[in-house]
Every structure is written in C-alpha cells, then in structure tokens.
Structure 1
C-alpha cells in the first residue's frame, strides 16, 4: 500500500471495540481512540490513551493542565500498522 501510493510511511490507525452481551460490556482498544460510558447523566472515560503525553502525566513529569498544549500531545506509542506489534488493552 505504501509503495503504490508513494507514502513516506505505512498508514497507521487507532481502534476501540466494544461488545455488549448478556448484560456485560467487553472492550479493547489500541492508541488514543476512546470509549465512554453514560452513567446517571455523567460521561465516564473507560480507556486510557496510549500516548506520550498520558505517559508523562502518569509519571508526574507533566501537569495534566498541559494535556492539550504540550508539544508531545499527538505522539502515540501504540497503534495498528506500526513496525512493532500493537499492545491491545
């Protein structure tokens, strides 16, 4: 695909999938695609982004207030189509 379309890199993507069956929800995700639940009028995030900025925040190296402005905010460490195998959570 990359060679045919003269792309500098192989296309990559993120994914989230959810199966609701017999009263249970099962989900998996890779990258920064997100799954939310609606509970009693609140929107609850159920997945964590596989991104550089979220890793830095979790390590205490960056303040959460920088989430939307930090230079690394769009860098992913996990996605489909990368040279290394994806980690599906």
Structure 2
C-alpha cells in the first residue's frame, strides 16, 4: 500500500533574494512526488546548488508561514525565505 502523501502534486515555487540569484528564475511550477517542504527544499538545493542550509531558511505556504516538515498539498504556493541581512 502506498503512502497517500506521495502522489504527484503540482506546486508553484517562488524564489527571492539569494535563492532567486542561485536558481536564476523567480517562479516555477513543479509536479513532484515529495511529502514535506523539507524534502522539497533538499530537492531544490541539489538542483540549483543553493548555499543556504535548511535551518537558515523559512517556508511560507499559501501566504502563511509553515513548518518545513508540513505535508505538501496539491496546488500549494511555496516560498522559501532566506535570511534577511540586518544592521
């Protein structure tokens, strides 16, 4: 029996700041069989060679902060937010 959370889901990912520079794009639509936003970040970090580690970023899903271990839902809008420099 397969895990119901691993069926293909289509999501929109937006990139800002350092992540946008490293990915070379601002937005992309992906269809993936991943369970959590942590898995998604690991996938994207490998794909785009992101320099930021998981503990350095936050994730927002459908305009609300979420936990990296939350379950990805079909049609989610995901933004990984890098640290903001301050003075």
TM-score range, shorter chain: under 0.3
User: Which has the larger share of helix?
Assistant: 2
TM-score (structure 1 length as normaliser): 0.26
User: Which has the larger share of strand?
Assistant: 2
TM-score (structure 2 length as normaliser): 0.26
**Structure (1 or 2) with the larger CA radius of gyration:** 1
